[in-house]
């Protein structure tokens, strides 16, 4: 499939689509830019069809699935903008931007992400999660891909004040740990899309084992949500060609910093004591 002709191919295939699939095509062609940042559930709701219809539409377009659909759509848009001489690099920055314009655009984008994430924070959800973390015997942070970097940073942050924070990076070890958790454990599963198969499996295993599961994701209707006791939404729009964007990571890290600080506030004495110990322990490792 020629990437730059994908929208044209949707129009060409239109007569051969089912009535329900035509609803997906109609909405996509009318809202191309918006669809890039929608989950499969969001698109299905917008088209008033089921998720299986969206998936069948992707198959009718000879695509492996919804993610490939969004990638082809994004490539088609970028090629269209390039043909117009705009030469896009990201959704905000163009190749022709000056250095000062580029940095200002990125600054504005990052500020907006943090502002939106802050607005989405549910105080009750955060406080409930922190209460569970305080009472837990073990806290596991899970993530794959770019979200795994955030999970590792979260474990590193909490290890400064508690001795019960863990993060495993090997997928087999993650699965084994999740399957042997219990009702005294907390699993924090980080997934921007909320649709990553590995992350969903980890959340399901942890939930089935009796653990309290928290999901950090962008989409309130993602599959991850179905396996989470509490959901915290991040505020960054990430296109299919922008996986692992700093914006998305910043929004997730802001949430985790809020969790860390709230934990510290609630268990101040022991957190302060442990923070002093861990800080002292690494002094000899520095010049």
Structure tokens at 258: 């809020």
Q: How many C-beta atoms surround the C-beta of residue 26 within 10 A?
A: 13
Mode of pairing for the β-strands spanning 185-190 and 212-217: parallel
Q: What is the pLDDT along the chain (287 residues), one digit of tens a residue?
A: 444 478 888 888 888 899 999 999 999 989 888 888 888 888 999 999 999 999 999 999 989 888 889 888 888 776 665 555 454 455 567 777 788 888 888 888 888 889 989 988 878 999 999 999 999 999 999 999 989 999 999 999 999 999 999 999 999 999 999 999 999 999 999 998 888 899 999 999 999 999 999 999 988 888 899 999 999 998 877 665 566 678 889 999 999 999 999 999 999 999 999 999 999 998 888 77
- Ordered by start, the domain boundaries in the chain are 3-83, 111-285
* Reported pTM: 0.78
Q: Give the residue ranges of DSSP H helices in the chain.
A: 6-13, 19-30, 32-35, 40-47, 51-60, 66-83, 99-120, 123-135, 146-158, 171-179, 197-208, 246-266, 268-281
CATH number listed for the domain at residues 3-83: 1.10.10.10
CATH number listed for the domain at residues 111-285: 3.40.50.10490
């Amino acid at each position: 499939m020629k990437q730059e002709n994908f929208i044209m191919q949707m129009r060409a295939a239109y007569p051969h689509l089912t009535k329900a699939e035509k609803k997906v095509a109609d909405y996509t062609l009318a809202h191309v830019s918006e669809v890039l940042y929608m989950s499969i559930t969001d698109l299905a709701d917008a088209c008033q069809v089921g998720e299986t219809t969206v998936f069948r539409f992707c198959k009718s377009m000879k695509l492996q699935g919804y993610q490939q659909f969004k990638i082809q759509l994004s490539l088609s848009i970028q090629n269209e903008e390039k043909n117009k001489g705009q030469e896009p690099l990201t959704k905000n920055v163009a190749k022709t931007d000056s250095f000062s314009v580029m940095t200002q655009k990125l600054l504005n984008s990052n500020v907006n992400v943090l502002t939106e994430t802050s607005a989405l924070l549910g105080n009750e959800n955060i406080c409930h999660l922190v209460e569970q973390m305080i009472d837990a015997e073990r806290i596991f942070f899970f993530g794959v891909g770019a979200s795994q970097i955030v999970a590792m940073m979260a474990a590193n942050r909490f290890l400064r004040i508690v001795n019960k924070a863990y993060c495993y990076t090997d997928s087999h070890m993650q699965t084994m740990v999740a399957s042997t958790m219990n009702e005294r454990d907390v699993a924090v599963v980080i997934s921007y899309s909320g649709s990553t198969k590995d992350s969903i499996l980890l959340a399901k295993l942890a939930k089935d084992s009796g653990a309290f599961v928290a999901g950090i994701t962008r989409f309130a209707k993602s599959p991850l949500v179905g396996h989470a006791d509490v959901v915290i939404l991040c505020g960054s729009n990430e296109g299919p060609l922008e996986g692992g964007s700093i914006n998305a990571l910043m929004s997730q890290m802001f949430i985790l910093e809020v969790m860390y600080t709230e934990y510290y506030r609630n268990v101040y004495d022991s957190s302060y004591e442990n923070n002093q110990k861990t800080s002292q322990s690494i002094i000899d490792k520095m010049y």
